Amino acid sequence: MSDQTRKVVMTVGPDDKVIPKVVELGQAQGPTGQLRIIKSGLTAEDKVIVNGLMRARPGAQVKPQMVDPLKPADKQASAAPQK
């Protein structure tokens, strides 16, 4: 995602709530360039939301599910807000 001047990813915090984090992007990678190197702003422990971003709002409670980054997004579940 982008705000006016920065690139932002939505992550899942330890309490399963959405936390936005500002990142610095690097080169595109992968067989079709669909993966992106993150130069700074994330740690190896961060859980990045990759599906359901339209519903992921800062502070929203989510039910995270791990996904395989090499599988198509339509074949995986999303981290949708809980109702």
Tokens 């130069």 correspond to: 39
Residue 6 lies in a domain: yes
**pLDDT for the residue 76:** 63
- Please tell me the pTM assigned to this model: 0.72
**pLDDT for the residue 52:** 85
Residue 48 sits at φ, ψ, to 5 deg, of -90, 135
Number of domains in the chain: 1
Residue 34 lies in a domain: yes
Task: Name which of 73, 71, 20 is nearest 9 in CA terms.
Answer: 20
Neighbours of 40 (CB within 10 A): 9
Q: What is the mean pLDDT of each run of 10 residues along the chain (83 residues)?
A: 87 94 91 85 92 89 84 61 54
CATH of the domain at 22: 2.40.420.20
Residue 47 lies in a domain: yes
